[in-house]
Structure formats: C-alpha cells, structure tokens
Amino acid sequence: MKLLEERILKDGHVLGENILKVDSFLTHQVDIRLMHKIGEVFAEKFANAGITKVVTIEASGIAPAIYVADKLDVPMIFAKKSKNITMNEGVLTAEVYSFTKKVSNTVSIAGKYLSNEDKVLIIDDFLANGQAAKGLIEIIEQAGAKVEAVGIVIEKSFQDGRGLIEEAGYPVLSLARIERFENGNVIFKEADL
Ligand code: 5GP
C-alpha cells in the first residue's frame, strides 16, 4: 500500500535494531484518513470471502481493525490482555509471549462472541515474531471458528512471524513489508496489497 509506505518513510522512526515507532499515525495518535484507506484495501480483498468477524488484540490493533470491520460490515472483537472481572464464564485464552517486552500475557476473548459458524479475518498493526497472531488463531480455533487469513498493517519481514503463521497454514497479507533497517532507514520489499 503505497500511501502507507510513504507515511512510514515520512513519519516512522527506527529505534535500535528492530523496532519501528509509528506513534504519530498508528499506535498512539491515529490518522483516521489512513485508517479509512486501510479499511478499504482489506475489505476489497476480502469482499467475497464470507468474513463474519474481524478479530484483533488490544491496544494498537483496534484502530485498523475497526475500519476493516466497518467496511466489511461485520463486528470487530479485540482480545483482552488483562483479566476482566466481568468476563467470568466461557472465556477462551491463549498465552502470548512478547519478545519486545520479554513477558508472557494471557489474552482472552469471551467464547460467546465466536462460534463454529464464524469465518474470521485477523487484523493487527505489526507482525514481528508472530506470537500475537498465533495466540489469536489458537483462541479462534478453540471456538471452532475458521481463520480465513491474517491481515497486517506493517510486517517486519526480517523477523519470524510470517513464516510461523504460513507454516501453520494461514495466509498472511501485509500492507507494508519491511525487508530491513539500514542506518536508521526503512527498506521495503514488495507488499501483498
Ligand atoms: P509479535 O507477536 O508478532 O512478535 O509482535 C506483535 C506485536 O508486538 C504487535 O501487535 C505490536 O504491538 C508489537 N510490535 C512488534 N514489533 C513492533 C515494532 O517494531 N513497533 C511497534 N510499535 N510495535 C511492535
């Protein structure tokens, strides 16, 4: 997605070896126009796929996921990272290890929001080592629902996430694919959409 790549080049900041900071338009302040476009691009791709739910993980997956769900006209569900006292029964969970934060989180979705009739599109802001997407897939499959594909805004292709998810049998579609960082600059490879 050309517009996204241009925005990353303009406003993204490379931190250390392998982190891209995009908090001016995606992970903190959110550019609504860009989110609209992201919603359109994913929705066009999956218009005839029979998607019934969009699933993401809090917090920064929520913004793009809402716009995709809006365009597909289906509900958006975000997995929660902390235990919620109102979520007391039928909770589906998975462990998600964060390499960036070096902690493991239990993420959860109330089982009543997913069923074996659902066809799910997973959307997330970043794909790095694939642990967040893997956890979401585990939860969705516990509900007997089908994962149609994993849609990613920014994929860091030099990390293991894409391989992990594809080897497990799920298509990955990314709007921007980063091949590497070079002297603080972002080098892209060809994106999927
Ligand atoms: P994974 O589970 O694929 O290793 O990492 C996915 C999650 O880690 C994303 O949802 C995102 O919140 C966070 N993340 C991973 N790499 C980056 C990065 O380079 N920049 C930002 N802002 N977040 C990242």
Atom of ligand 1 nearest to the CA of 23: 22
pLDDT interval class at 87 (50, 70, 90)? low
Give the pLDDT score at 163: 98
Beta carbons within 10 angstroms of residue 112's beta carbon: 11
What's the chain's average pLDDT?
96
State residue 99's pLDDT score. 79
| Cis peptide bond prior to 43, omega within 30° of 0 | no
- Does the pLDDT of residue 84 top 90, yes or no? no
Q: What percent of the chain has pLDDT over 90?
A: 93
Q: Is the model's pLDDT at 164 over the cut of 80?
A: yes
The response to whether 4 counts as a known ligand-binding position is no
Domains of the chain: 1-187 (3.40.50.2020)
pLDDT digits (tens, 9 = 90+) for 122-155: 999 999 999 999 999 999 999 999 999 999 999 9
What is this structure's pTM?
Answer: 0.97
Q: Calculate mean pLDDT across residues 83-110.
A: 86
pLDDT of residue 101: 83
Q: Percentage of the chain with pLDDT > 70?
A: 97
Q: Which residues pair with 124 in a beta bridge?
A: 152
Closest C-alpha to 151, from 162, 138, 167: 162
Element of type H or E holding 103: strand 103-110
Ligand 1, atom nearest to 97 Cα: 2
ipTM above 0.95, yes or no: yes
Residue with the smallest CA separation from ligand 1 atom 16 is: 128
Q: Count of CB atoms within 10 A of residue 155's CB?
A: 27
Does residue 52's CB lie within 6 angstroms of at least one atom of ligand 1?
no
* Buried b or exposed e, range 30-49, using 16+ CB within 10 angstroms: bbeebbebbbebbbebbeee
Amino acid at 79: A
CB 107 within 8 A of CB 57: yes
Q: Hey, what amino acid is at 19?
A: I
> Which ligand 1 atom is nearest residue 130's CA?
3
